[in-house]
Amino acid sequence: MGLEIEAIHTKMQERYALAATGAGCCNGNACCASDYSADELARIPAASVLGLGSGNPVRAADLHPGETVVDLGSGGGIDVFLAASVVGAQGRAIGVDMTPAMVDRARDAARSPRAPNTSFVLAPIERIPLADNIADVVLSNCVINLSPDKPAVFAEAFRILKPGGRLAISDIVQERDLGKIEDDCGCVATAMVRA
């Protein structure tokens, strides 16, 4: 399974590298309508908004000033920057993404004066290089569905969460098994089936 996971990761990195530069099919809310208000979008760097999510996990997370938030599959950083604006200067928001072009884009956007409490880590969400019990909240927006090893993602999320921490996920699930889909990068190709 290790080689299969690496092959899927490579395909996703290629696809999302294109999205980071404005090429490819995964741009401009290709899958889902935006769930961000004009006020929320005004608080974050415009370069972080790529339209790749399926909702707004920041709103669902009930964030508080001073909290540490980790976003799994942070892409251009939209949810990291929005979380950072809520947790304030005493808090911090950390993005984790495995695509170098996405992390580069997010880091460039983080140079904005609006984002001093953000950082971005290049790593797969199945192997997060952060300490245990670091996060008050773990977010993910339309990314866990893409992982070929969802148990590892959830194990890592719970490892980095503080006791009593919260998990806020917006994602795609299938109503029924669709069988083998050739394009493993599509939003539904590796999504879980609703129980």
| Confidence bin at 23 (pLDDT 50/70/90) | very low
DSSP 191: P
CB 70 within 8 A of CB 121: no
Cα(7)–Cα(104) distance, integer angstroms: 22
**Three-class secondary structure of residue 46 per DSSP:** helix
Per DSSP, helices labelled H in the chain are 2-20, 38-42, 57-61, 78-87, 100-110, 150-160
Which domains, ranges and CATH numbers included, belong to the chain?
2-193 (3.40.50.150)
Please list, in sequence order, all residues whose beta carbon lies within 8 angstroms of the beta carbon of residue 86, skipping any fewer than 6 positions away.
Answer: 58, 63, 64, 65
pLDDT tens per residue, range 103-155: 998 898 888 766 789 999 999 999 999 999 999 999 999 888 888 899 999 99
Q: Quick one: pLDDT at residue 170?
A: 86
What is the chain's alpha carbon radius of gyration, rounded to the nearest angstrom? 16
Q: How confident is the model at residue 43 (pLDDT cuts 50, 70, 90)?
A: confident
Top pLDDT among 89 and 171 is at 89
Quick one: average pLDDT of 74-88?
Answer: 92
Task: Determine which of 47-61, 85-99, 111-125, 141-155 has the lowest per-residue pLDDT on average.
Answer: 47-61
* Mean pLDDT (the chain, rounded): 79
